[in-house]
Structure 1
Amino acid sequence: MTGTVADAPAKSTSTIARHQTRRAPREKDGKPAFIQIARTPLIPEKILRDHGAFCVIDTRFRAAARLLQCLWLREHDIPAGSSDAGDTFDGPAAFGNILSPDAAYAGRNFLSPAIHRLALQEWLMCEEDAAIDEERLLGNSLSSMPLVFNMFGPMALDRKLATAVFRELLPGFVRSVERIRFEHSPGRRDERFLADRTAFDLAVHVTTPSGEPGTLFIEVKYSESMEGPAARMRDRYNEASKEVRLYDNPDSLILRSAPVDQIWREGMLAQLAVDNGITPRAIFLAIGPKLNRRVQGVFRVYQGELLDADRQDADRVPFIPLTLETVIEAIVTAGATDHAQVLWNRYCDFERVYRLSLQQLTGDAARAPANKSAQHHQPAALPPTRRALAATPALRTRAASSRPCGAATKREAV
């Protein structure tokens, strides 16, 4: 991805503001519950290798996220696969974020037995032609697929919690949550839609403040770097791009480019669900980590392709990007503080990998990865996070394409 994508400005946010009147985060002892660091730490290659987290094609964010998952698994005594023994769940190339087969099938990739059971139920009873990858779901801690269940599974099991969270996020659209469906499409391979397998990570069926039904169609990203390949272009995509009346230029090549095309297809699918009477109102939400610049850049580029709010028809489906951190903060506000804390520790605590790296570089902690002082959340007497370490020949990480090591990127259009 080029700098243009990462730095592109968003268009008017009046549509977002109409639905998303976010209150200030709750404070505890005068401070926000969670504070993200300024940028993704640049983790030296040696430290990544020491912890089984080095992958030559990882982006800066993905390398830090992979290390965070390695630390989380080790902290919770969850065994990873061994490439030497050939017993990895995800094939012969083992990384510290890949669970051993026994741990994977025991449900250790999930934050609770209840979430594990829900994930199995959804997998076994998935919609026809759904793109649920067993290996990513059960055995890859870095994948966004288990993240979806770990974040939204408790809400699927507790509608009161779901209602509290989504009312906090979208008070102008949600009065109550009625149902949550995972890996959902309103019409796979249906010519009324996109005639392909495009689907959302989840659909949240709600009752709006006016009493009518509505749907939140949600896509979740975590460590993806949003590079290709793009879906095979279909005539139906070109037709739908004009039909949905969402885009300033329906023929835009940017919409069809590898970084953006999945969000484009899902935006069209959400609007076609309204146009075909599946739901009277909808919002398309895209969620990704604040520090994943590529994910956030794609969201901004897609926003830039949309018609301004004052040029859209009233029944058009808004696109609202949210950070993962914002959703976790809403979970705190809804009262599920323990769940929010575990989510933060596993997926967003990049302060931890920064401190671990600084400690190992300065010798303030033992260099062995198994050292407990390098794994637990014990703030050391270190300077605050201000800037990343500069890359040098001796201390470097390699950023490259987003094709993940030991995991497949979801491409459901085929």
Structure 2
Amino acid sequence: MALNLMGPLKLDRGLAEAFVREIAPDLAGRVCSVSFEHSPGRGDPTFTADGTAFDAFIIIRQEDGRKAFLAFELKYSETCAEPEPRMRPRYDDLSNASELFIDSEDPDLRRNPVQQCWRLHMLAQSMIDAGLYDAGRLFVIAPRLNDQVQRATARYQTHLAPPRGDKAGFVNLALEDAIAALALAGDPDQARRLTARYTDLSPVHALI
């Protein structure tokens, strides 16, 4: 799904820039790259010191020269109940230092269904803190009818401190809205194909 949704953005910079304007207008600018399975450094203790990576990643140079990113985690039928990783001391360090959370030591952050959002969000913030970027935002994209992911992201958001300009943002973006943004950005044909493949359940309903 990541390649089908984001692949056209990699092939067309103008489309990518228009897509960014649709979903994150405050971070819009010149798109420098679109990549997949991106990590600033797997295993690097500067970041999460593990293999955590983003499904898709857009690097942007804004008009004022600031460097920004949009990071994406895409889920279709996943449930946020994957095997939990081994908790590492670096997670605790980042959770405390990031200032992203109301209670950085809350055990709920370290368990399913929110631990992956926690790790990805800390990875995003660690890239800003390391000076690689000036601003960024993490998007979780899943269908509205994926109740498990929708509940998980809503639960995760209850742990977040009030947003600040120097902190990586977090957005739960419905797959349907991401597809609509792609259409508005200039690729309605691909948007129709994505809708038919991923979100139009009328053929299923017709069989029931």
Work out whether the TM-score is over 0.5.
yes
Deviating above 2 A after TM superposition, structure 1's stretches of 4 or more consecutive aligned residues are 207-211
Matched with 1:175 is 29
Cα RMSD after superposing both structures:
1.2
- Ranges in structure 2 where 5+ consecutive residues have no aligned partner: none
The one of 228, 242, 247 equivalent to 2:96 is 242
Q: How does 1:6-405 map to 2 (within 5 A)?
A: 147-309=1-163, 312=164, 314-357=165-208
CA distance in 1, matches of 2:120, 2:78: 17
Shift of 1:208: 2.6
- Ranges in structure 1 where 5+ consecutive residues have no aligned partner: 1-146, 358-414
Identity of aligned residues (%): 39
CA distance in 1, matches of 2:159, 2:26: 24
**Residue-by-residue CA offset, 1:115-137 (whole Å, 9 max, x unaligned):** xxxxxxxxxxxxxxxxxxxxxxx
CA distance in 1, matches of 2:123, 2:78: 21
Of structures 1 and 2, the one with the larger relative CO (CA 8 A, separation 6+) is 1
**Residue-by-residue CA offset, 1:309-328 (whole Å, 9 max, x unaligned):** 3xx4x311111110100011
CA distance in 2, matches of 1:209, 1:302: 32
| Higher-Rg member (1/2) | 1
Whether the aligned pair in 2 keeps the contact of 1:173 and 1:209 (CA below 8 Å) is no
Bigger fraction of residues in strand: 2
Whether the aligned pair in 2 keeps the contact of 1:230 and 1:259 (CA below 8 Å) is no
CA distance in 2, matches of 1:345, 1:253: 40
**Residue-by-residue CA offset, 1:86-137 (whole Å, 9 max, x unaligned):** xxxxxxxxxxxxxxxxxxxxxxxxxxxxxxxxxxxxxxxxxxxxxxxxxxxx
Bigger fraction of residues in helix: 2
